[in-house]
Amino acid sequence: MEIIKAEYIASYVREEQCPKEDIPEFAFIGRSNVGKSSLINMLTKKSDLAKVSKQPGKTQKLNYFLIDNKWHLVDLPGYGYAKVSKNLREEWGRMIKYYLRVRQQLSAAFVLLDARQTAQKVDIEFINWCGSVQVPIVIIYTKCDKVNDYQLDKNINSIRKALLETWEEMPTEFFSSALASKGREEILSFIDDIVKNYQVQSD
């Protein structure tokens, strides 16, 4: 897949407001400052499609982008630490979980994990919650270029060990680097297969 057109549609605070088109959606979520905006911009080759910020908590709504008039990319607020009030974090949490739980068009939620770190409690809890309510998830390890191979293996094994205490097998995994465009082809190929299958089933 090669993305030709990527355009911002709108931002919403409730799932009921989201677009009604029957096209597949792919949501991107992770802890604040995990590199989500950089990854989205790398995938679409649009350097300013998603706003990149060093300050956690900038994404505060369900941000919709239409890709080649075929599928929606949904940029979700980060979970975990952000310089906002506890009430606002809880409000985001309710919005995110409701969207993930009820959204019929959602084909996959890409959960981003920082490859520079071992298993983080907030990540494991969120992924386990997704599994408990049957949200279709895919894991993307970000910033893989910022750690050596030994440390990368150690961190990934830590995450897998923590998840396999609950999961029978690991979800699909991708390794990425926004700077080096690592993982772009593999992730887009995964999306493309789902989009094509979605179209066949709709015909």
pLDDT value of position 158: 98
- What are 193's two structure tokens? 């297969």
- What are 97's two structure tokens? 């979980």
Are the C-beta atoms of 183 and 175 separated by less than 8 Å? yes
Q: What is the pLDDT along the chain (203 residues), one digit of tens a residue?
A: 889 999 999 999 889 999 999 999 999 999 888 999 999 999 999 988 886 544 444 567 899 999 999 999 999 988 765 555 566 566 767 889 999 999 999 999 999 999 999 999 999 999 999 999 999 999 999 999 999 999 999 999 999 999 999 999 999 999 999 999 999 999 999 999 999 998 877 66
Distance from C-alpha of 64 to C-alpha of 114, rounded to nearest angstrom: 23
Rounded to a whole number of angstroms, the CA Rg of the chain reads: 16
Backbone phi and psi for residue 121, each to the nearest 5 degrees, phi listed first: -55, -45
pLDDT value of position 8: 94
Q: Strands of 6-12's sheet, edge to edge?
A: 6-12, 62-67, 71-75, 25-30, 106-114, 137-142, 173-175
> pTM (2 decimals)?
0.91
pLDDT value of position 93: 76
pLDDT value of position 165: 97
Question: What structural domains and CATH numbers belong to the chain?
Answer: 6-195 (3.40.50.300)
